[in-house]
Structure 1
Amino acid sequence: MIAGVGADLCDVRRIAAALRRHGERFAQRILGERELALWCQRQARCPERGVRFVATRFAAKEAFSKAIGLGLRAPMTWRACQIVPAASGQPTVLLDGALRAWFEQRRWRAHVSLSDEGDHALAFVVVETLPEEPAPCTPR
């Protein structure tokens, strides 16, 4: 059952301007530990890819915060929610700390889709409630 849906469209130029103004501090404020490592790799290869990486993560976290109905208030924080690739490359949501506990208590799972084109980065998040686990069978 769908518990929430969120979408966000981010202007990549805004993120580029914030990175120029505040440098790495801006990325450190928005990105979690695993995301920062990926950003550093992409930034080193191609600065434009680094900017787009931050923009898609910014959009994804905004979309996730809308899907769970909290916005950016506790326990939802920029760094407690990370968008990291699965082995297949598919973006996945990785939660930490109080946000993870809050989310798991509700028995939710999140699905995220990211895209960027031209001056825009787009994220779409669907949060679903996991089905109830069947009661264990008791032997006779």
Structure 2
Amino acid sequence: MIYGIGTDICDIRRIAEALQRRGDRFAEKVLGPDELQVFRARRARSDTRGIRYLATRFSAKEAFSKAIGLGLHLPMRMPDCQILNEASGKPMLKLSGALAGWWAERGLSGQVTLSDESDYAVSFVVVETTKA
């Protein structure tokens, strides 16, 4: 049964500006440890690729927070909701901290998809529950 659905569109230029203003502190507030590794590796190869990665993850976390109905209120913290990729490239959720416990208590599972084009990143999240 569907628990919640969330979607978000993000202007990549805004993410680039925030990163320029606040430096890596901005990325560290948004990304979890595994995501930070990917971000830094992509940014080392191409600043644009790093910024696009950060923007898609920011968008996905916004969509996720809407799907679970919490917005950006505890236990939802952006670094505790990581959007990683399976070997096939499929995006997946990896939750930690209090958010992981909250998620497990409710018997939730989720699917996430994200994309970017030109100046925008877009994400869609569907959260389901196995509990009646």
**TM-score scaled by length of structure 1:** 0.92
Q: Which amino acid aligns with 1:129?
A: T
| Cα separation, 1, equivalents of 2:130 and 2:117 | 33
Structure showing greater Rg = 1
Of Structure 1 and Structure 2, the greater helix share is in 2
RMSD: 1.0
Partner of 2:88: 88
Per-residue CA deviations over 1:26-57 (Å, capped at 9, x if unaligned) read 10111000000000110011110000000000
| Cα separation, 1, equivalents of 2:89 and 2:38 | 13
Aligned partner of residue 78 in structure 2, secondary structure: coil
2:54 matches 1:54: yes
* Structure 1 ranges of 4+ moved more than 3 A: none
Cα offset for 1:87?
A: 1.7
Cα offset for 1:131?
A: 6.4
Partner of 1:41: 41
Cα offset for 1:130?
A: 2.6
Matched-pair contact (CA < 8 Å) for 2:106–2:131:
no
Q: Which amino acid aligns with 2:120?
A: H
Listed as ranges, the matches of 1:49-128 within 5 Å are 49-128=49-128
| Cα separation, 2, equivalents of 1:84 and 1:78 | 13
Partner of 2:22: 22
| Cα separation, 1, equivalents of 2:85 and 2:131 | 25
**Which stretches in structure 1 are left out of the alignment for 5+ residues?**
133-140
Partner of 1:137: none
| Cα separation, 1, equivalents of 2:110 and 2:43 | 27
Cα offset for 1:77?
A: 0.5
| Cα separation, 2, equivalents of 1:131 and 1:95 | 19
